[in-house]
Amino acid sequence: MKTTQIILYNQLREDYLSSGAKSYLYIHHTWKILFQWEVLNLNISSKIIDYAGGKNLVEELKNSWKKADFVTAKSFYAGLKTYAKKQWVEKYILVKPVENYVYENFLKIWEKLENLWIELEFLEDTQSFFLSHTDFEKQYKKPPIMEYFYRFMRKKENIMMNTDGTPEGWEWNYDALNRKFERKHDWSWNFSLEKNTWLWEAEEYYKQSLSFPQPTTRDEAVALLEYFLKNHLDTFGKLEDAMYQDDPYVHHSMLSASINYWLLSPREVVSAVEQSSTALNNKEGFIRQVLGWREYMYHFFQHYKDSLYTENGLNHTRSLPEYFWKNGKNCSMNCLSTTLQQVQKENISHHIQRLMIIGNFSLLTGLNPHELNKWFFEYYFDAFEWVVTPNVLGMSQYADSWKLATKPYIASANYVNKMSDYCKNCKYDPKQKDTEDACPLNYLYWNFVDKHKGVFQKWRQHFVLKNLEKVDIQRVRELSKKFLERDMV
Ligand SMILES: Cc1cc2nc3c(=O)[nH]c(=O)nc-3n(C[C@H](O)[C@H](O)[C@H](O)COP(=O)(O)OP(=O)(O)OC[C@H]3O[C@@H](n4cnc5c(N)ncnc54)[C@H](O)[C@@H]3O)c2cc1C
Ligand code: SF4
């Protein structure tokens, strides 16, 4: 039977493909995607990476004497139909898409292909995660809190464990040594890549360039991993939550897209960090992100995917202001403006910018969490449904009716001023609470607590409610109203 393996945009790895296929097909079609009943326009970096990554893989396959084709098409179905006709394909095989909306799209394609007498078979994805979702569901009826899951994974995979079943260093968590901020800090991130042939071609095709040196081949991804291990892992833990105006990536790995696109496996990244000679707080801090958070978010999403899109726990409905979509510099707050401009230019930012700058602002101003989810999906090149949705709707916006986080992640200017150097370049004063010059986060914070007292009562956050009593709430409401009317258009 003439069998062709379809390769998806996030399956860019030759040795993970099936040896049973007679040929391989990569369809580049990311102009527009249908996500949650809406047509979204993906960012330019995702499109370029998709094109260049696909072309690179197809050329690699050809170099190893395999039949492989790269085609552009209006939709997956259009591409598959035309290719099948030309090449007499009788059966397509495909590693089951990790994104639910893509999988559902393929179920519809399956029906259409059946009418053309073409078979479609899904293969299990054994590479994207350590644990399959079937095994997760065998272990847990519903997702436990992340810490318990993380400890389970450490034991299961025997990562950073002593022979007697205790964690290496006898602690599960080194957060006390991590998450610092140092005022004196030089630009640190300095990774570059020579453009490969297919990246040139992709940029030519789209008439735009990739602003961030994102790997599009396996060798480039390995180079990024090696660069991170050599230059940044030793400071990863300590500055994990720090933000700098002139150093957007600090000591983060910037490996998320390479892992999500299969260029690196989560297992090899964790193993490389475990085997490194860095201090335990860096090792554990990093491994917690990949073996803990990354895995957890995937299983959390799979478990709750049907309800996540219908919930809006805090009933937030405000539309995103225009500066989210363009001209981030028009935003009056330096922390947010810097982050939005970076995302608009490079389609990437680090975790604390996502959670504590964009996420915190969105939560305090009551932005519609589903609109925000789509915004993250459109703007970031490491965005995939299983990871964006639980991070945005659960961790960041508390829209999931309290399934992921036990309390909203909210912060006033005190946090941003402690963990970044943004405030010194801002027109607002982080120390003032209720003047015209005060940082908006200070009054928006109390405005949020005032509006959602029930949530704080439910989670026994009595100290927050006690502090609310000391606040001039009329003044807070007045300043918040003014800001929301003036700065949220
Ligand atoms: C609102 C919001 C949206 C997010 N959207 C995405 C997204 O679209 N794609 C994405 O891959 N991650 C997303 N994350 C998670 C995290 O912010 C990114 O994985 C991380 O910033 C990527 O940069 P890095 O590779 O330098 O990460 P590092 O800080 O170096 O961390 C190492 C790795 O750990 C994993 N990781 C860390 N935190 C998380 C997390 N919360 N969830 C899942 N994996 C995690 C990633 O694979 C990451 O590469 C989001 C987080 C938030 C709060
Ligand atoms: S003062 Fe407020 S708005 Fe300005 S950078 Fe600091 S936290 Fe952001």
The pLDDT-based confidence of 49 (bands split at 50, 70, 90) is very high
Q: What percent of the chain has pLDDT over 70?
A: 99
Give CA–CA dist 109/18, Å, rounded: 21
* Predicted confidence (pLDDT) per residue in 385-401, tens digit: 999 999 999 999 999 98
What CATH code is assigned to 3-123?
A: 3.40.50.620
Please give the average per-residue pLDDT across 267-288, as a whole number.
97
Ligand 1 centre and the CA of 377: distance in Å?
13
Instruction: Please state whether beta strands 3-7 and 91-95 pair in parallel, antiparallel, or not at all (unpaired).
Output: parallel
On whether the CB atoms of residues 56 and 217 are closer than 8 A, the answer is yes
What pLDDT score does 399 carry?
97
Decide which of 2.40.30.20, 3.30.70.260, 2.60.40.10, 1.25.40.80 is the CATH code for 133-189+232-302. Answer: 1.25.40.80
Q: Cα dihedral sign for 406, 155, 132, 241?
A: positive
What pLDDT score does 30 carry?
63
Nearest CA to ligand 1 atom 19: 256
Domain boundaries along the sequence of the chain: 3-123, 133-189+232-302, 322-487
Please give the average per-residue pLDDT across 31-47, as a whole number.
83
What pLDDT score does 20 carry?
84
* Predicted confidence (pLDDT) per residue in 65-108, tens digit: 999 999 999 889 999 999 999 999 999 999 999 999 999 999 99
Ligand 2 and 333: CB distance under 6 A: yes
* Predicted confidence (pLDDT) per residue in 322-352, tens digit: 999 999 999 999 999 999 999 999 999 999 9
Q: What percent of the chain has pLDDT over 90?
A: 91
Ligand 2 pocket: which of 244, 333, 418, 479 to mutate (most atoms <8 Å of CB)? 333
On whether the CB atoms of residues 427 and 435 are closer than 8 A, the answer is no
Cα atoms in the Cβ-side hemisphere of radius 13 Å centred on 361 = 27
Superfamily of the domain at 322-487: DNA Cyclobutane Dipyrimidine Photolyase, subunit A, domain 3 (1.10.579.10)
Q: Of all atoms in ligand 2, which is nearest to the CA of residue 417?
A: 6
Q: Helix, strand or coil for residue 244?
A: strand
Res 31 pLDDT > 80: no
Give CA–CA dist 199/202, Å, rounded: 5
Nearest CA to ligand 1 atom 42: 294
* Predicted confidence (pLDDT) per residue in 183-215, tens digit: 888 878 899 999 999 999 999 999 999 999 999
* Predicted confidence (pLDDT) per residue in 116-170, tens digit: 999 999 999 999 999 999 999 999 999 999 999 999 999 999 999 999 999 999 9
The pLDDT-based confidence of 176 (bands split at 50, 70, 90) is confident
